[in-house]
């Protein structure tokens, strides 16, 4: 286990009707509030009304219309609105796209040049507006970490950035706020949560027993409650466990003391940058194909650990057969969640694989991954997904 610094920082209000605590937290930072939200879902499901009601003593400036795979042009627009209105605090009400966009708006408020600089060079982030979130989905963990992923359409790039300064001050997690999610988005959130735990789990670093047990618990939570939440959208027990698993899956717990770069996320970021697909959907296609590609004499023991501790596969003596069975069970679980099996189902062919692979390797530091990947490896994995 490597040395590490762990600081969750974010104060979490978890549970039913915790929106009542929003006003006192917001007004700790000021009364001019930039309310960032998506394409109108919160107005249809009543969350918008609840937020505005508890903020009745604040000057609320709205900035809606944030799309999935948030664009840098939206960040630029949000920064202008924030400056024009002398905003004190940025409030993101929505899922990951809304929160990520709000984070870079908060950082860009004090930055004189183009905010894309802050994405590609997060060291330029020196000061940010306070960030508060009200989560309406689950899976990305953005509500409890300093990460943000932004899409630059002009450059066909989707890049993740990180700064501890981007971590929200406060996040409100009410599982009831996820009841209006579609079955497809619920499934995508389940896969996304699993993928975060898996990326940290499959690591070159040794002696990380605690981190691995936490990761296994998060994965098993998704396996237990994912299908329930997809079928029963108002099942509080299922949604509560998945919402908390999503937060813990990417708040630093599972990755503490580990140094390997992630493998599948850089590859998926290229898919959603070029084809604007849902992140969890792309991960469902990629994960098991990547597993099959990297299974070898050096990795098989980790797959055996995954097979036994997550899928309880003990009735198989051959290591490779046990590993392959675990990969197949992972694939079957994604099928059970009605996730796509191939890129072809998403209308994606091999036309852009070469350029996508170049970007994935350079932007994602894949030469430092659990199993180092070159451009040719990434292309091969994409082809396996066809």
Which pLDDT score, from 0 to 100, does residue 140 have?
Answer: 85
Task: Kindly report the pTM of this predicted structure.
Answer: 0.94
Which pLDDT score, from 0 to 100, does residue 359 have?
Answer: 93
340: pLDDT strictly greater than 90: yes
Closest CA to 169 of 191, 138, 146, 150: 146
13: pLDDT strictly greater than 90: yes
> What phi and psi, each to the nearest 5 degrees, are found at residue 240?
-65, -45
In angstroms, the CA 256 to CA 200 distance is: 9
Judged by DSSP in three states, 60 sits in strand
Q: What percent of the chain has pLDDT over 90?
A: 90
Can you name the residues that pair with 157 across neighbouring β-strands?
152
| Chain centroid to CA 336 | 21
Report, as an integer, the average pLDDT of 241-256. 95
Number of residues assigned to the chain: 386
In angstroms, the CA 171 to CA 142 distance is: 10
Report, as an integer, the average pLDDT of 128-153. 95
Which pLDDT score, from 0 to 100, does residue 100 have?
Answer: 97
Report, as an integer, the average pLDDT of 221-230. 98
Question: Where do we find the tokens 């003391």?
Answer: 257
Which pLDDT score, from 0 to 100, does residue 8 have?
Answer: 86
Which pLDDT score, from 0 to 100, does residue 156 have?
Answer: 80
Contact 151, 157 (CB under 8 A): yes
pLDDT digits (tens, 9 = 90+) for 54-67: 999 999 999 999 99
Q: Which domains does the chain have, with CATH numbers?
A: 11-178 (3.40.50.1970), 183-384 (1.20.1090.10)
106: pLDDT strictly greater than 90: yes
CA atoms within 13 A on the CB side of 322: 21
Which pLDDT score, from 0 to 100, does residue 298 have?
Answer: 96
Question: Where do we find the tokens 């299922």?
Answer: 238
| Per-chain mean pLDDT for the chain | 95
222: pLDDT strictly greater than 90: yes
pLDDT-based confidence at 20, cuts 50/70/90?
very high
Which pLDDT score, from 0 to 100, does residue 153 have?
Answer: 87
Report, as an integer, the average pLDDT of 138-159. 91
- Kind of pairing between the strands at 170-173 and 157-162: unpaired
pLDDT digits (tens, 9 = 90+) for 303-314: 999 999 999 999
pLDDT-based confidence at 113, cuts 50/70/90?
very high
Greater confidence (332 vs 140) lies with 332
- For the chain, state the CA radius of gyration: 20
Which pLDDT score, from 0 to 100, does residue 316 have?
Answer: 85
Structure tokens at 329: 């069970």
Quickly list H helices, the chain: 22-26, 41-44, 47-54, 72-84, 96-108, 116-120, 183-201, 209-231, 236-248, 264-275, 279-294, 300-311, 319-336, 353-364, 375-384
Question: Where do we find the tokens 């708040």?
Answer: 251
In angstroms, the CA 53 to CA 12 distance is: 21
pLDDT-based confidence at 206, cuts 50/70/90?
confident
Under DSSP, the state recorded for 164 is: G
Contact 78, 22 (CB under 8 A): no
CB atoms within 10 A of CB 60: 16
């Amino acid at each position: 286990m490597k040395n590490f610094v762990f600081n969750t920082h974010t104060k979490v209000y978890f549970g039913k009707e915790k929106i009542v605590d929003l006003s006192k937290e917001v007004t700790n930072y000021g009364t001019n509030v930039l309310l960032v939200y998506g394409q109108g879902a919160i107005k249809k499901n009543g969350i918008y009304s609840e937020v505005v009601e508890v903020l009745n003593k604040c000057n609320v400036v709205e900035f809606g219309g944030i799309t999935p795979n948030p664009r840098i042009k939206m960040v630029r627009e949000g920064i202008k609105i924030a400056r024009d209105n002398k905003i004190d605090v940025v409030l993101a009400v929505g899922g990951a796209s809304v929160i990520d966009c709000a984070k870079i708006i908060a950082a860009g408020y004090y930055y004189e040049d183009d905010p894309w600089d802050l994405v590609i060079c997060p060291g330029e982030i020196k000061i940010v507006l306070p960030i508060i979130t009200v989560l309406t989905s689950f899976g990305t963990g953005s509500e409890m970490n300093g990460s943000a992923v932004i899409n630059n359409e002009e450059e066909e790039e989707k890049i993740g950035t990180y700064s501890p300064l981007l971590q929200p001050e406060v996040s409100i997690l009410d599982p009831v706020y996820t009841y209006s999610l579609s079955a497809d988005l619920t499934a995508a959130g389940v896969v996304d949560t699993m993928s975060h735990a898996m990326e940290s789990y499959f690591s070159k670093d040794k002696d990380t027993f605690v981190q691995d047990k936490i990761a296994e618990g998060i994965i098993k939570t998704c396996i237990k409650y994912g299908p329930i939440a997809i079928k029963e959208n108002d099942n509080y027990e299922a949604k509560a466990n998945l919402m908390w698993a999503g937060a813990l899956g990417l708040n630093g717990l599972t990755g503490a003391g580990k140094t390997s770069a992630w493998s599948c996320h850089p590859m998926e970021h290229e898919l959603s940058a070029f084809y604007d697909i849902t992140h969890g959907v792309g991960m469902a296609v990629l994960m098991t194909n990547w597993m099959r590609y990297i299974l070898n004499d050096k990795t098989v023991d980790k797959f055996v650990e995954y097979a036994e501790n997550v899928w309880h596969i003990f009735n198989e003596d051959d290591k490779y057969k046990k590993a392959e069975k675990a990969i197949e069970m992972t694939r079957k679980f994604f099928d059970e969640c009605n996730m796509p099996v191939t890129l072809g189902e998403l209308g994606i062919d091999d036309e852009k694989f070469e350029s996508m692979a170049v970007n994935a390797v350079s932007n994602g530091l894949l030469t430092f991954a659990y199993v180092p990947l070159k451009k040719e490896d990434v292309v091969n994995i994409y082809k396996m997904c066809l």
